[in-house]
Homo-oligomer: A and B are copies of this chain.
Amino acid sequence: MGRRKVEIKRIESKSSRQVTFCKRRNGLIEKARQLSVLCESSVAILMVSSTGKLYTSSYGDRFVEKLWGSNAIDQETLDWNGCHLFYAIFCMEKIIKRYEIQHADELKNLDLEEKFRKYLSYKELVDIVQCKCEEAKVDDASVESLNSLEEQFKAALSVTRARKTQLMMEFLKNLEEKEKLLREENQILASQLTKMEKKRLPETEGEGAMSSENSSRNSPPETLPLLK
């Protein structure tokens, strides 16, 4: 794809490695965009260069919305997809984790609240709590330091609480929405059954009577506990 064919192995020269990274990175991002647009799909890319810079791009996630529930997938595939999702998160987290470690110094300087909100782990939070406790202890546990400790906690954690609550609400809202949809489907199905029965009744006698009896025993929405 250039003047020469290049072997796919580490480029030794630092400068040309950086040049190549820049070119190919742009190429990759453009390809991702095209894939997203052409095929109506979502694509996200995370890159960490050898100089430790992070690059990301993300395209097309709005399209996934339209496809809600549009596909039937067999159980095996679904199970695999479920596992794969966690694997994906695991991979992303791994890269992000390394980035965090590599850039620990800088990330420390960022707004603490921002950290709490976004992704500070439980363990990190405990460390901070302990550290703050140590500080307070050294201070000979003055009331002042404890007061400020509490304030700090509250400030940082109220943000966290808001976000957590939000996440839980979203999660539950999903379940409830699904329930509503099922309910609506039930009603549509039930009314269709009723309509068909009405049309059917005057047409046949012996056989018809039986089948109408059948369905009236099973189908009326009134007999279904959850439709009320």
A25 touches B21 (CB 8 A): no
Q: Which residue in B38, B52, B114 is a CB contact (below 8 Å) of A73?
A: B52
Q: Which residue in B11, B64, B154 is a CB contact (below 8 Å) of A99?
A: B64
Chain B residues contacting A130 (CB-CB under 8 Å) are 150, 153-154, 157
Q: Which residue in B35, B137, B189 is a CB contact (below 8 Å) of A186?
A: B189
Q: Which residue in B79, B88, B102, B224 is a CB contact (below 8 Å) of A46?
A: B88
A85 touches B133 (CB 8 A): no
A37 interface residue per 8 A CB criterion: yes
Number of interface residues, chain A, beta carbon within 8 A: 148
- A168 — nearest CB in chain B belongs to which residue? B119
Q: A43-B47, A46-B92 are in contact. Are A225 and B68 (CB under 8 A)?
A: yes
Most chain B CB inside 10 Å of its own CB: which residue of A32, A109, A161, A196: A196
A39 touches B11 (CB 8 A): yes
Chain B residues contacting A142 (CB-CB under 8 Å) are 141
Q: Which residue in B91, B150, B182 is a CB contact (below 8 Å) of A179?
A: B182
A10 interface residue per 8 A CB criterion: yes
Other contacts beyond A8-B33, A8-B34, A28-B35: 20, CB < 8 A: A9-B38, A50-B63, A51-B67, A51-B73, A53-B73, A53-B81, A54-B81, A67-B102, A68-B102, A81-B103, A86-B119, A104-B175, A122-B122, A122-B163, A123-B168, A126-B161, A136-B141, A179-B182, A189-B189, A189-B193
Binding site for B on A (CB under 8 A): 6, 8-11, 17-18, 20-21, 24-25, 27-28, 31-35, 37-56, 58, 61, 63-65, 67-73, 75, 77-79, 81-82, 84-92, 94-96, 98-107, 109-110, 114, 118-123, 125-126, 129-130, 133-134, 136-137, 140-143, 146-147, 149-150, 153-154, 157-158, 160-161, 163-165, 167-168, 171-172, 174-176, 178-179, 181-183, 185-186, 188-190, 192-193, 195-197, 199-200, 203-204, 207, 211, 215, 218-219, 224-228
